């Protein structure tokens, strides 16, 4: 496997790590966000809980970002 | 910390019940327990809910009516409460409160009559003037357009005219009107139109006076607005009417100003009385509303409630001084009645930590008898925030903005608290900014010449590239090290939560609960030991084996403490630890965005003066966006790490907050 292909695959892996986790987070947040918007309309005091609940799925994309960053570090290891 | 509460029962002779309630209301320290439910479960029927004298029920209706009237008057006069002398209001309030309800009502009614007499004519006149102004302002542009046409029509004795105002988008209707009115008038009609503004068009229909009645009848069934002048102007020639309208438009604001000055004088004269009256009515009604929560027998009244222990003696003394042995205060042992769940919670923190009670705007208070975690929040929230943002320039901006908000909104508790929290967060942002040596991104690296030609950090002020501890600590280059630091912080943060959970378990005598939390702590510690070996290679293999033992032992201990759920929680706890990776991830996203903004400024997308301007604009825009994101995102994530990862391990919410029965100083 040539070095260019290797770097390309590393970059693709990193992109998949952040991209797929971002899609998963977006799907989860869209559902939670819609549900919480409805809940807040009925009970405005839930706004604090809403912010926290909407932030919960962000863990996925954050961990995806961390993994992607660690994968890009492989680029230097494999030189 | 959570204030230590005492439960008290106050018994006294029924004929002095209202006086005793007044004393308790004045002290403003007792959180009243509604005895209705307890009374309904009692076997004896001798104890009933306290009922108001029918005479007082009438007073309640009168007071409610007065409250509405005083409120209307305050809205009408709009006194500036902020600038009023609070002592004057307090003196007037005391004068009203010292009277019995009948006298208080008659004094407020008398004051209202006086205010109404002084203001009725002026208020009505002002309203009339404002209506007139808005009406003739509407006419003025229409009349100005129609005037030249009408003047020509006026010279033709046998012709009549009607002015219309039409929305511009429906202007086509004029053709239809022209056709129909031509049929009515046998072709003796003409429609002239002119646009008044962007939305309306004025039109003048000129036709033979013989058909006046028929044309009016036709227009009456059409959906068009005829311009009807005020009655006093309708009969005048249009040019005279236009002149008069212009004169009125010029005069009315002056008349309104004169009335405002008069009203200002009346406001000055009565504002203190009105505000004091409003407050007195509000508090009197509050006191009346509280009565059904108390109990009574044929001879005595019973009041039950909670108050901070330090206030028991002053209340006992106040009641004894006023009523002697006709009223008795007894302290009930909370533990004896197993009422800690129902006990209202009051927090008592030092002035610094108190600002961090803003947390409880999002969450309930901690349950009575458990540990108040406000101090944990006050310590960790700004640190986690600062660690994520970590930039000297951003920190200065956040700190200054937070302090301005804190000072400017001193009278609005929530915004005031948020301002203070941001100020402390800004200070920690500067601290971490110094550690990372970031000033609006990588400017300091450039100015100090620490970067090589590829833009990578090469020189260090302290240590070398190979050192574990070095300064500056570049978040991009030192990502793995920072990840480890984040996990250690997570272990400490969650560990504190678990230790508090153990303390709560011990306080409540629930040792299984304490065992579950201890097991979770062992799992976390074991996981950290394993990560330290396999992730960072920080220590020997045998310590990793100890870590494995701790994880297995911790899961077993959690299982013993809380069953299968406890064992699952042990595994989930390890996942929570990785959640702290956000501390570096969010910060990294922020620093990369700042560097992009800097890069655009250094190497603008196009050459020449235009490129410099675009570079500067992009720099300002991206940095401003980064600061805004840098405030919101780290705040939410720091909050989440507290409420989910750390507090989620021990926090038990209170059912009731301590809300004493006190004079509120009036409704808002």
Q: For residue B363, which residues of chain A lie inside 8 Å, CB to CB?
A: 48
The DSSP output letter for B439 is B
Determine the average pLDDT of the residues in B374-386: 94
Cβ-defined contact of B640 to A65 (cutoff 8 Å): no
What is the distance between the alpha carbons of residues B175 and B360, in angstroms, rounded to a whole number?
67
Q: How far apart are CA B227 and CA B207, in angstroms?
A: 17
pLDDT at B275: 86
ipTM above 0.85, yes or no: no
Yes or no, beta carbons of B479 and A70 under 8 Å apart: yes
| pLDDT value of residue B187 | 82
Q: Name the most confidently modeled range: B350-359, B428-437, B561-570, B656-665.
A: B428-437
Residue with tokens 């009115």: B181
Residue B499 contacts by C-beta under 8 Å, 6 or more apart in sequence? B517, B521
> Is A43 an 8 Å CB contact of chain B?
no
Q: Give me the residues paired with residue B301 across strands.
A: B12, B296
- Give this prediction's pTM: 0.73
pLDDT of residue B230: 60
- DSSP code, position B642: I
The number of C-beta contacts closer than 8 angstroms across A and B is 44
pLDDT, residue A77, reads 54
Mean pLDDT of chain B: 84
Q: pLDDT grade, residue B402 (50/70/90)?
A: very high
Give the pLDDT of residue B668.
Answer: 47
- Interface check for B582 against chain A (CB to CB < 8 A): the answer is yes
Nearest chain B CA: its distance from A49 CA (Å): 7
Q: Among partner residues A55, A56, A63, which is closest to B581 by beta-carbon distance?
A: A63
Identify whether the C-beta of residue B530 lies closer than 8 Å to the C-beta of residue B544: yes
Question: What mean pLDDT is predicted for residues B627-640?
Answer: 89
Split at pLDDT 50, 70, 90, the class of B235 is low
Q: Using alpha carbons, list the distances in angstroms from residue B328 to B38, B317, B325, B334.
A: 20, 10, 6, 18
Percent of the residues in chain B that have a pLDDT greater than 90, as a whole number:
23
In this predicted structure, which of A27-31, A44-48, B508-512, B543-547 has the lowest mean pLDDT?
Answer: A44-48
Q: Is B181 helix (H, G, I), strand (E, B) or coil?
A: helix
Of all residues in chain A, the one with the smallest CA distance to B360 is A48
Across the interface, whether the CB atoms of A48 and B479 are under 8 A apart is answered: no
Q: What is the mean pLDDT of residues B301-329?
A: 91
- The answer to whether B363 contacts A48, with C-beta atoms less than 8 Å apart, is yes
Please report residues of A whose CB lies closer than 8 A to that of B643.
52
What band does A79 get if pLDDT is binned at 50, 70 and 90? very low
pLDDT in tens, B553-610: 998 898 888 888 888 888 888 888 888 988 998 888 888 889 888 888 888 777 778 8
Asked if A58's CB is within 8 angstroms of B637's CB, the reply is yes
**Cβ contact B606:B451 at 8 Å:** no
pLDDT tens profile B193-213: 777 777 778 777 888 888 888
What pLDDT does B596 receive?
A: 87
Cα(B438)–Cα(B424) distance, integer angstroms: 19
- The pLDDT of B353-380, averaged and rounded, is 89
pLDDT-derived band of residue B114, with 50, 70 and 90 as boundaries?
A: confident
Least CA distance to A68: which residue of chain B? B585
Per-residue model confidence as pLDDT tens digits over B454-503 = 777 888 888 888 887 888 888 888 888 888 899 999 999 999 999 999 99
């Amino acid at each position: 496997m040539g070095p260019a292909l290797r770097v390309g695959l590393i970059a693709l892996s990193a992109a998949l790590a952040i991209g797929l986790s971002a899609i998963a987070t977006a799907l989860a947040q869209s559902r939670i966000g819609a549900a919480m918007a409805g809940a807040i309309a009925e009970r405005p005091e839930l706004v604090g809980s809403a912010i926290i609940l909407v932030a919960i799925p962000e863990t996925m994309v954050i961990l995806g970002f961390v993994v992607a960053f660690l994968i890009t570090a492989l680029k230097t290891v494999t030189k | 910390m959570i204030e230590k509460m005492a439960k008290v029962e106050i018994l006294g002779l029924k004929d002095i019940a209202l006086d005793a309630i007044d004393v308790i209301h004045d002290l403003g320290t007792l959180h009243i327990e509604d005895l209705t439910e307890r009374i309904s479960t009692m076997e004896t029927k001798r104890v009933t809910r306290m009922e108001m004298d029918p005479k007082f029920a009438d007073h309640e209706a009168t007071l409610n009516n007065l409250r509405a009237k005083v409120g209307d008057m305050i809205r009408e006069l709009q006194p500036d409460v902020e600038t009023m002398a609070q002592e004057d209001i307090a003196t007037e309030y005391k004068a009203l409160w010292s009277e019995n309800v009948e006298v208080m009502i008659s004094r407020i009614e008398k004051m209202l009559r006086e205010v109404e007499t002084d203001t009725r004519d002026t208020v009505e006149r002002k309203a009339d003037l404002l209506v007139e102004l808005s009406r003739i302002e509407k006419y003025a542009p229409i009349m100005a357009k129609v005037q030249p046409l009408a003047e020509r029509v006026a010279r033709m004795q046998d012709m009549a005219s009607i002015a219309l105002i039409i929305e511009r988008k429906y202007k086509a209707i004029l053709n239809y009107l022209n056709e129909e009115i031509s049929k009515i008038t046998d072709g003796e009609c003409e429609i002239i139109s002119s646009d008044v503004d962007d939305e309306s068009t004025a039109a003048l229909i000129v036709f033979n006076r013989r058909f006046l009645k028929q044309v009016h009848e036709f227009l009456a069934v059409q959906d068009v607005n005829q311009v009807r002048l005020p009655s006093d102007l309708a009969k005048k020639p249009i040019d005279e009417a236009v002149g008069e309208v212009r004169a009125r438009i010029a005069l009315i604001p002056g008349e309104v100003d004169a009335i405002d000055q008069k009203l200002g004088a009346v406001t000055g004269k009565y504002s203190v009385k009105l505000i004091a009256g409003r407050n007195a009515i509000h508090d009197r009604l509050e006191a009346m509303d509280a009565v059904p929560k108390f109990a009574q027998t044929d001879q005595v009244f019973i009041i039950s409630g909670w108050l901070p222990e330090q206030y028991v003696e002053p209340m006992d003394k106040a009641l004894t001084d006023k009523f002697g042995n006709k009223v008795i205060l007894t302290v009930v042992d909370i533990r004896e009645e197993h009422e800690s769940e129902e006990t209202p919670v009051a927090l008592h923190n030092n002035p610094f930590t108190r600002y961090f009670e803003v947390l409880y705007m999002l969450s309930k208070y901690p349950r009575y008898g458990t540990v108040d975690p406000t101090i944990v929040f006050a310590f960790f929230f700004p640190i986690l925030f600062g660690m994520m943002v970590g930039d000297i320039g951003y920190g200065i901006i956040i700190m200054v903005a937070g302090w301005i908000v804190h000072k400017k909104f001193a009278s609005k508790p929530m915004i005031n608290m948020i301002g203070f929290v941001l100020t402390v967060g800004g200070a920690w942002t500067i601290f971490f900014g110094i550690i990372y040596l970031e000033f609006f991104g990588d400017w300091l690296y450039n100015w100090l010449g620490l970067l090589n030609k590829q833009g990578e950090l090469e020189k260090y002020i302290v240590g070398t590239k190979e050192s574990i501890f070095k300064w500056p600590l570049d978040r991009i280059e030192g990502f793995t090290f920072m990840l480890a630091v984040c996990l250690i912080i997570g272990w400490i943060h969650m560990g504190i939560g678990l230790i508090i959970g153990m303390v709560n378990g011990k306080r409540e005598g629930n040792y299984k609960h304490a065992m579950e939390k201890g097991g979770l702590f062992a799992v976390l510690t074991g996981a950290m030991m394993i990560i330290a070996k396999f992730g960072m290679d920080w220590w020997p293999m045998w310590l990793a084996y100890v870590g494995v033992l701790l994880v297995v032992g911790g899961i077993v201990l959690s299982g013993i403490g809380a069953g299968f759920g406890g064992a699952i929680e042990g595994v989930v706890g390890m996942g929570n630890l990785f959640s702290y990776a956000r501390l570096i991830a969010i910060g990294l996203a922020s620093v990369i965005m700042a560097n992009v903004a800097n890069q655009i400024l250094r190497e603008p997308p196009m050459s020449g003066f235009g490129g410099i301007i675009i570079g500067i604009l992009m720099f300002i825009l991206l940095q401003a966006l980064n600061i805004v994101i840098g405030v919101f995102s780290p705040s939410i994530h720091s909050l989440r790490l507290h409420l989910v990862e750390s507090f989620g391990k021990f926090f038990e919410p209170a059912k009731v907050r301590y809300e004493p029965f006190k004079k509120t100083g009036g409704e808002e």
